[in-house]
């Protein structure tokens, strides 16, 4: 069965860096684009970034552009989110989600349980 | 950028009720609209894609409609497990830059 397991969340100081991972299993990882979505405390879901199946295309929300970088290692079935210059407002639970295209429509059919990043001095 | 709005932001309902949540996009998105529900500490779950297609395994009490800029999620015969926050998501852009609505929290009256 499809599984996505995030890891790497921690408490970090503003300005520091952190790398999140999302380990995928139960499907051919290299065939799917992957997304990162976050939820800050008391807030709604916010789309963060997407990477194409081969890693050649990456897009970001304006709020994280230039600071967060999405990447993947298809040989290890793992998605990454490198988080640099962290800000207080980056505090959130970060989810990875699979993108599926069905009948010309894209959506996120599987999600991980999330990993918590807390940015605090 | 495409912006999404939802109404109401929250509602109270009882088991067995029918509830309707509205989602509006800031520009035309055809039927590239998905619905999810999300409970605290859990992974979000896809309910509806392409505005009205029920995801496999999702109960038929969930239904979606709409096209263009205005969309609706309807839940009939509300069940205890349906008390959650519901989000719409547009997937119209070709670069997979999705946008979520702000969410609608459904709680027990």
pLDDT band of residue B36 (cuts 50, 70, 90) is very high
pLDDT tens track for A6-26? 999 999 999 999 999 999 999
pLDDT tens track for A37-73? 999 999 999 999 999 999 999 999 999 999 999 999 9
**Residue range B41-52: mean pLDDT, rounded:** 96
pLDDT tens track for A30-39? 999 999 999 9
Task: Please state, rounded to an integer, the average pLDDT across all residues of chain B.
Answer: 95
Which candidate in B9, B98, B102, B103 is best for mutational testing of the A interface (most A CBs within 10 A)? B98
Give B33's contacts in chain A (Cβ within 8 Å): none
For residue A62, the model assigns a pLDDT of: 94
pLDDT band of residue B109 (cuts 50, 70, 90) is confident
> Which residue from B50, B95, B100 is facing A103, i.e. has the nearest CB?
B50
> Which residue from B1, B91, B101 is facing A105, i.e. has the nearest CB?
B91
How far are the Cα atoms of B2, B4, B103 from residue B100, in angstroms, in the given order?
A: 10, 6, 8
Cα dihedral B89, B3, B38, A82 sign: positive
Length of chain A, please? Answer: 121
Beta bridge partners of B71: B23, B66
Assess A105–B contact: CB distance below 8 Å, yes or no. yes
Query: B8 preceded by cis ω (within 30°)?
Result: yes
CA–CA distance, A80 with A115 (Å, rounded to integer): 12
**What residues of chain B, 4 to 23, have a C-beta less than 8 Å from chain A?**
none
Instruction: Tell me the pairing of strands A11-12 and A115-119.
Output: parallel
pLDDT band of residue B103 (cuts 50, 70, 90) is very high
pLDDT higher than 90, residue B93: no
Rounded CA Rg of chain B? 13
């Amino acid at each position: 069965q499809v599984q996505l397991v995030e890891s790497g969340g921690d408490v970090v100081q503003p300005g520091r860096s952190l790398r999140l991972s999302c380990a995928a299993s139960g499907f051919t990882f290299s065939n799917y684009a992957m997304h990162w979505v976050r939820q800050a405390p008391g807030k709604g879901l916010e789309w963060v970034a997407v990477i194409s199946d081969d890693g050649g295309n990456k897009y970001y929300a304006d709020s994280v552009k230039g600071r967060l970088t999405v990447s993947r290692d298809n040989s290890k079935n793992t998605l990454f989110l490198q988080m640099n210059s962290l800000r207080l407002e980056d505090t959130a639970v970060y989810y990875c989600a699979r993108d599926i295209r069905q009948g010309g429509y894209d959506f996120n059919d599987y999600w991980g349980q999330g990993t918590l990043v807390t940015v605090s001095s | 950028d495409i912006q999404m709005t939802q109404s109401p932001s929250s509602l109270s309902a009882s088991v067995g009720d029918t509830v309707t949540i509205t989602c509006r996009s800031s520009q035309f998105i055809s039927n590239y609209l998905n619905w999810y529900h999300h409970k605290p500490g859990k992974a979000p779950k896809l309910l509806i894609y392409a505005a009205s297609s029920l995801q496999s395994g999702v109960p038929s009490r969930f239904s979606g409609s709409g096209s263009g800029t205005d969309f609706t999620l309807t839940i009939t015969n509300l069940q205890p497990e349906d008390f959650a926050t519901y989000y719409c998501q547009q997937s119209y852009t070709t670069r997979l830059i999705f946008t979520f609505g702000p969410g609608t929290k459904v709680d027990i009256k």
